[in-house]
Structure 1
Amino acid sequence: MAELRQSHHDKEVELWCEDEARLGLKPVVRRAWALKGTRPRSNGRHKFESLFVYGFAHPNSGRSRFLILPKANAECMGQALADFAGWADPDGRKVLVVILDGSGGHTAKGLRVPPNVVLHRQPSCTPELQPAEHLWPLVREGLANQVFNDLNGLTATLTTRCQWLTEHPMVVGGAVGFHWAVAA
C-alpha cells in the first residue's frame, strides 16, 4: 500500500476485498423455535440450479457492492470488476486495491482488470485472512428457511438482502473490518 501511495501520490489508494459465493435453490436451513412436543416443518429441495454473488467490501467504512451473475469465471469476474470500479471510482481518481483469493476466475490470463484496479492475491489455503468471506453469513441469513421455485424468486430475495446490506455499512463493517485491513 505504501508503494502504491508513493507511486500514485496524486490519487487516493483504497483497500477493498472481494469474494464470490454460489447460492442455489437448495434451502439455507436454520434452527427454528417450536412448541414443546411439536416438530417444526422444514422444507427441502434438491434442485441444483444456482447463481453466484460477487461481493466487494471496504473494511474501513463498511461500504459494499454486490453483483449477481450466472457463473464464476474470468468473464463474469471481469464484468464484476468493471461494475465495481465504475461504482467505487466513477471519476478515475483512485487506485482500488482489491484483495482476492486464487480461484480460477481470478488467475485466468483472459481476466480484464480496469486500469484503476490493482489485484492483490492472497496466499493459497488462507481463507481466514480474507475479510470478504465474512459477507456470506450475512447474505445467507436473508435466505434462511425459505424455498424458491426458480432462480427468479431467489434473485429477487437475494437482491433485496444485498440492497439492505449496502444500506447498512455498520453491519458489513463489523463483519469485514479486520484490524489490519482497517489500518491499511
Structure 2
Amino acid sequence: MRHVDPDAAPEKPEVGVARRGGGVQKKIEDVVAEEAAKYPRRPVEVFASDEHRLGLKPVTRRVLAPIGERPTAPGHHRFDWLYVTAFVSPATGETFWYVHDGVSKPFFEKLLATFAREAKAGVDHTLVLVLDNAGWHGETGLRVTEGVRLIFLPPYTPELQPAETLWALVDEPIVNKHVETINALDEIVAKRCFALANERETIKSRAGFHWWPKIANSN
C-alpha cells in the first residue's frame, strides 16, 4: 500500500497515460480504416490478446468475514506454472481461449495461426489484433497469417489492454483454494475458459472499452 499526501498535486504520468490512450485509439481506428478500404466486402474486427500465468502458488483475495474473525485460506507454495492466452473481441464479447505450459516466439506463431484459422481470418473477416510488447510477440522473425494485422500497445500500459480485464474471471474457481497438482489446475482452468466462452455479455461488460472500434464493413 502506498500512502499519498491528500494535499499533493496530481502526478504528471496520469496525463501521459491519457494521451497514450488517445494515441492508441487513433492508431487502431486508422488501421481498421486501411483494412476496410483494402477489402470493402470483408468485415474488419479488432481483437485483443494477452497471456496470464497461473500456478500452484495460491491466488488470494480479500473476503468478508464476521467482526473479530480472521478468514483463512489453505495454501501450499509450489512453483509449477501453466499459461492461459485469451483472444477477445471487446465489441462482441467473443473469445478464444488456449491453455499451455510455456511461452516462446515459435509457440506464439503457431498459436496465432491456430487462432486465425478458428476465427476464420482472411475468409470471413480481417482481424486486427492488439498486443503488448512481450518479446515473443515481436514482429521480427514472426510469420503472421494472412487476414491478421498486428498493432502494439505503448510500453507499460496494461490499462489499455482489454484482455487484461479477463484474468479476474479466469481466477475465480481457484481463489483462496488449494490445488493439489498442475493437472488438476489445468482441468479447472480449462473448464472455466470453456464456460467463459459462452458468457459474451459478461466478457463485454469487462473488456468492452467505450473507445474500442466497432466492426467495420459490417452488413
TM-score (norm 1): 0.91
Kindly report which structure 2 residues correspond to 1:135-174, keeping only aligned pairs within 5 A, or say none: 135-174=166-205
CA separation in 2, counterparts of 1:156 and 1:106?
27
Match of 1:118 in 2: 149
CA separation in 1, counterparts of 2:71 and 2:44?
51
Give how far 1:6 is off: 0.2
Q: Deviations over 1:146-184 (max 9, x none)?
A: 211221000100011111111100111111101121446
Cα distance, 1:43–1:152 mapped onto 2, change above 3 Å: same
Paired residue for 2:206, among 161, 171, 175? 175
Q: Which runs of 5+ in 2 are unaligned?
A: 1-31
> Which shifted more, 160-169 or 72-81?
72-81
Cα distance, 1:107–1:145 mapped onto 2, change above 3 Å: same
Kindly report which structure 2 residues correspond to 1:25-44, keeping only aligned pairs within 5 A, or say none: 25-44=56-75
Match of 1:130 in 2: 161
Cα distance, 1:39–1:179 mapped onto 2, change above 3 Å: closer
Match of 2:47 in 1: 16
Matched, 1:50 2:84: no
Cα distance, 1:105–1:39 mapped onto 2, change above 3 Å: same
State the Cα RMSD in Å. 1.8
Give how far 1:83 is off: 1.9
Q: Kindly indicate whether the alpha-carbon contact (under 8 Å) linking 1:101 and 1:122 is maintained by their aligned counterparts in 2.
A: yes
TM-score (norm 2): 0.78
CA separation in 2, counterparts of 1:135 and 1:59?
11
Give how far 1:145 is off: 1.5
Once superposed, which parts of structure 1, at least 4 consecutive aligned residues long, lie more than 6 Å away?
none
Q: Deviations over 1:82-124 (max 9, x none)?
A: 2211221177231111001110010163323211211111111
Q: Which runs of 5+ in 1 are unaligned?
A: none
Q: Kindly indicate whether the alpha-carbon contact (under 8 Å) linking 1:74 and 1:108 is maintained by their aligned counterparts in 2.
A: no
CA separation in 1, counterparts of 2:195 and 2:133?
29
Give how far 1:51 is off: 1.0
CA separation in 2, counterparts of 1:131 and 1:16?
9
> What is the one-letter code of the residue matched to 2:167?
W
Higher strand fraction: Structure 1 or Structure 2? 1
Which secondary structure does the structure 1 equivalent of 2:151 belong to?
strand
